[in-house]
Structure 1
Amino acid sequence: MKRGIHFLLLLISFTVFAQQATVDTAQIVIPGRQNTIEAQSKPYVIMISTDGFRYDYAKKYNAENLLKFSNNGIQAKAMIPSYPSITFPNHWSLITGLYPAHHGLIDNFFYDYKRNETYAMSNKKNAEDGSWYGGTPLWGLAEKQGLVSASLMWVGSASDAGGIRPSYYYPYHEKFTPSEKVEKVVNWLKLSQDKRPHFISLYFPEVDGSGHHYGPDTKETENAVHLIDHAIGDLVQKVNDLGLKNVNFIFVSDHGMIKVDGGAPLEIPAVLFDKSRFDFYNSQTLLRIYVKNPAEIKSVYKELKAHKTEDYEVYLDKKLPRYLHFATRDDQYHRIGQILLIPKAPKIFLEKGKKTSVGKHGYNPKVVPEMKATFYAWGPEFKNNLVVDEFANINVYPVVAEILGLKIDQPIDGKLKVLKEILKEEK
């Protein structure tokens, strides 16, 4: 296993951002921030996301530390990602308690027709511009109420989304190893009581990278799971050694992973390449269509539906199943489009000449179980030895707010009652 971990550390990461030759790895500290006297006595929450950590990976690959900690705390049978089950929308749903159509990050890449601008997750300017992001992230909620926060690479944490950044954060890069990230979290918790963050969000991309490049059922992905499991074990031990009271850990992922049929992809209907009539946005597991002349929407929909194959479905956006919260009635930022082509797993849409990865995500998690994510939690605020049923990821937000004694100051989609049973006692 060690040989596999050492090999994995040498790999170029294949996930969310394209890396530049030189990257600024310096921490950014917002001056003048400190915990209120009341905040200094509050619990700590370390919220860890491992991108692409499918709901069954811990047992499938015997992640010893995660299984041990969650067996003594809380295990969810699975956590249901928001639709579409991709990285940016779901990390922002976890940290705001809102569905993607309500917070605005409806895809990793999209066009905003009101702004006349494109958002791309690989664009540093976009990623650090809080005007693209709706909702109040947990670090912003904490900071506004006098509780210091910190973030290591979480989606949106280098932006001023919600009006305020974490006290301590790093612009996104993939230069730090998992063990280096552990040390940075521990160093934050060594700060003086007035400066020490009580909410920390931490992000690991390695499992997602291996799942994309090699597939979910490979030795490389197993090695990536063990790499992160080792880092979690190291983090918990080093935090325990600090002797702090009431430190709580929440381990989540944004989505799962499935091996796709890249050898026989679906063809995008030829009519859509008429740029005078359409824009389309293809994440391969979801194809969104914007019809430039609204009068054509119904006729185009009927044409696409008449010529579709059995390998995908065609939806008017307003007719998408209500439980996905991704229809016209939900689209608060008007970014989704009016017609959706949804392939049936493991099929994907792929333009001619384009490449795909071995593993992908983005499908409806209610239909494709491989999309389901992970939720584990342990610490003094959580009950012991409790297994809970599947739940939507928007419900993590109010649990963290409850533990930290934060007042939620705007409407969210998540409900505390969904997960209240995992907490030991009422606040």
Structure 2
Amino acid sequence: MKRPLLLLYFLVLAATAFAQTDTTQQIVPGRRNSPAQQQKPYVILISADGFRYDYADKYEAKNLQALRAQGVAAASMVPSFPSKTFPNHYTLVTGMYPATHGLINNHFYDPQRKEYYTMRERSKVEDGSWYGGVPLWVLAEQQQMLTASYYWVGSEAPIKGIRPTYYYLYNEDAAFEDRVETVVDWLQLPEEKRPHLITFYLPEVDHAGHDFGPDAPETKTAVQQLDANILKLTEAVATTGLPVNFIFVSDHGMTQIDTENTLPLPAAVDTAKFIVSGGGMVVELHAKDRNAIKSTYRKLKKEAEGYKVYRKQNMPRHLHYGAKADAFHRIGDILLLTEAPLVFNFSARPPAPGAHGYDPAEVKDMHATFYAWGPAFRKGIRITAYQNIHIYPLVAEILGLPYTHKIDGKKELAAEVLKRR
């Protein structure tokens, strides 16, 4: 196929995929808040993707600075490993580490299913069988409390057979003003139809950080635009007169990587014996021939330069990403973890200058943001860094949603930041 025809072919495919994306609000019929749930508070959980822990001060996000001063600000929020978007967004709403809830990366191989999950394939994103745990909206809906999602990882899939009552399929072309109007509309519904938990996702800062790096003027502009938009959202919500609590978080931070000295797939990896999954900061090797694991591991340990080599059984405990935590058996038999600012790159194209995915314990730039304000929160306090697994019990406490299933998060954060009842 000639190059112009090939280009036209891909443009048609892209246009077709775009045209097939349903941009209308999805509503699950027949649901109502129980009388008891109608008396509960409201929570809007906002995620600004890639909003590094220091961005609000680094780029003078004055509205966020003022809002956090009215409530709670953490020194940082520590993402779970790997510090990627899908694993951490799902951790925030399940209270589980990625290896425990099963969404171990943005793209990964499942040797039990013999197939890949990828965030770019709608059939996988909307398949509830990939997702473990009990997301906050599922917990709420099970207890007859209505929820809404203007985007969040997992919200488009029937997890345990349940989606939020109101939700949208992911589409970045929705204007911010339209999204704010929708949130206000939700909060102005009759009490029996009004959502008490709303998730709200913003991707722009992450895009700028990837494309230009965390120190670029374009990233500063994206932060300041988001800051202005948060003010619009809070002012619009205030017109409802409802007791709404805001929790502003991010999934991970961002750092400048070495785009010139990237790492190839190590010579010791025989693709006839291993399925290679991942790239960037984490490469997972799934053995086709288990007899090859020991010898390949030894070879990799000898030749490793710029990355560390682990077997699943000897992963560092603080990562919660080893054999013991691997509830869905999706973690590779051998793992290669790069040392910042290096990345694995198996493409002919150089990687983007900004990236994330490193161990947050070793690379502070991976740390995320946590601010919260509203009637449930103490005012004007600063707290130490917290792991993001603790957001789940915090939201459950505000909304009065008991749970009995096991999670990794604890209630200490809720005890520290919430007013005593």
Name the residue aligned to 1:388: 383
Name the residue aligned to 1:411: 406
Name the residue aligned to 2:260: 263
For the 8 Å contact 2:268–2:296, the answer to whether it is kept is no
Per the alignment, in what secondary structure is the counterpart of residue 271 of structure 1?
Answer: coil
Per the alignment, in what secondary structure is the counterpart of residue 191 of structure 2?
Answer: coil
Q: 1:61 to 1:356 in 2, by over 3 A?
A: same
For the 8 Å contact 2:259–2:352, the answer to whether it is kept is yes
What pairs up with 1:339-350 in 2 under 5 angstroms?
A: 339-350=334-345
For the 8 Å contact 1:45–1:200, the answer to whether it is kept is yes
For the 8 Å contact 1:137–1:162, the answer to whether it is kept is no
Q: 1:197 to 1:172 in 2, by over 3 A?
A: same
Per the alignment, in what secondary structure is the counterpart of residue 279 of structure 1?
Answer: strand
Q: 1:282 to 1:118 in 2, by over 3 A?
A: closer
Which residue identity is paired with 1:205?
A: P
Separation in 2, partners of 1:80, 1:71: 21
Which residue identity is paired with 1:127?
A: V
Tell me by how many angstroms 1:407 deviates.
Answer: 0.9
Separation in 1, partners of 2:263, 2:210: 19
Matched residues, number: 407
Task: State which of 263, 284, 291 in structure 1 corresponds to 2:287.
Answer: 291
Name the residue aligned to 1:208: 206
For the 8 Å contact 1:19–1:173, the answer to whether it is kept is no
Separation in 2, partners of 1:146, 1:107: 32
Per the alignment, in what secondary structure is the counterpart of residue 184 of structure 1?
Answer: helix
Tell me by how many angstroms 1:417 deviates.
Answer: 1.9
What pairs up with 1:3-22 in 2 under 5 angstroms?
A: 20-22=17-19
Separation in 1, partners of 2:79, 2:394: 17
Tell me by how many angstroms 1:111 deviates.
Answer: 1.4
What pairs up with 1:17-96 in 2 under 5 angstroms?
A: 20-22=17-19, 23-96=21-94
Separation in 1, partners of 2:160, 2:101: 11
What pairs up with 1:242-281 in 2 under 5 angstroms?
A: 242-244=240-242, 246-272=243-269, 274-281=270-277
For the 8 Å contact 1:73–1:386, the answer to whether it is kept is yes
Runs of 4 or more above 4 Å deviation: none
Structure 2 residue 360 is matched with structure 1 residue 372:
no
Separation in 2, partners of 1:409, 1:138: 13
TM-score (norm 1): 0.93
For the 8 Å contact 1:19–1:174, the answer to whether it is kept is no
Separation in 1, partners of 2:152, 2:347: 34
TM-score (norm 2): 0.94
The superposition leaves residues 164-201 of structure 1 with CA deviations (integer Å, 9 ceiling, x where unpaired) of 11000001111113232222111111111110100000
Tell me by how many angstroms 1:392 deviates.
Answer: 0.6
Tell me by how many angstroms 1:18 deviates.
Answer: 11
Measured on the aligned residues, the alpha-carbon RMSD in Å equals: 1.4
Task: State which of 299, 304, 309 in structure 1 corresponds to 2:300.
Answer: 304
Name the residue aligned to 1:8: none
Separation in 2, partners of 1:128, 1:97: 21
Per the alignment, in what secondary structure is the counterpart of residue 221 of structure 2?
Answer: helix
The superposition leaves residues 207-237 of structure 1 with CA deviations (integer Å, 9 ceiling, x where unpaired) of 0001001111111111111121111111111
Per the alignment, in what secondary structure is the counterpart of residue 174 of structure 2?
Answer: coil
What pairs up with 1:103-114 in 2 under 5 angstroms?
A: 103-114=101-112
Separation in 2, partners of 1:48, 1:418: 18
Which residue identity is paired with 1:195?
A: K
Separation in 2, partners of 1:250, 1:19: 37
Separation in 1, partners of 2:279, 2:224: 29
Tell me by how many angstroms 1:62 deviates.
Answer: 0.8
For the 8 Å contact 1:313–1:341, the answer to whether it is kept is yes
Name the residue aligned to 1:359: 354
For the 8 Å contact 1:211–1:221, the answer to whether it is kept is yes
Per the alignment, in what secondary structure is the counterpart of residue 198 of structure 2?
Answer: strand
Structure 2 residue 114 is matched with structure 1 residue 119:
no
For the 8 Å contact 1:65–1:230, the answer to whether it is kept is yes
Q: 1:287 to 1:369 in 2, by over 3 A?
A: same
Separation in 2, partners of 1:62, 1:114: 48
Separation in 2, partners of 1:374, 1:342: 24
What pairs up with 1:397-408 in 2 under 5 angstroms?
A: 397-408=392-403
Tell me by how many angstroms 1:318 deviates.
Answer: 1.4
For the 8 Å contact 1:149–1:168, the answer to whether it is kept is yes
Tell me by how many angstroms 1:47 deviates.
Answer: 0.2
Tell me by how many angstroms 1:65 deviates.
Answer: 1.1
Q: 1:40 to 1:367 in 2, by over 3 A?
A: same
Separation in 1, partners of 2:257, 2:94: 30
Name the residue aligned to 1:282: 278
Unaligned runs of 5+ in 2: 1-13
Per the alignment, in what secondary structure is the counterpart of residue 332 of structure 1?
Answer: coil
Which residue identity is paired with 1:328?
A: A
User: Structure 1 residues 410-419 or 129-138, which shifts more?
Assistant: 410-419
Separation in 2, partners of 1:20, 1:76: 40
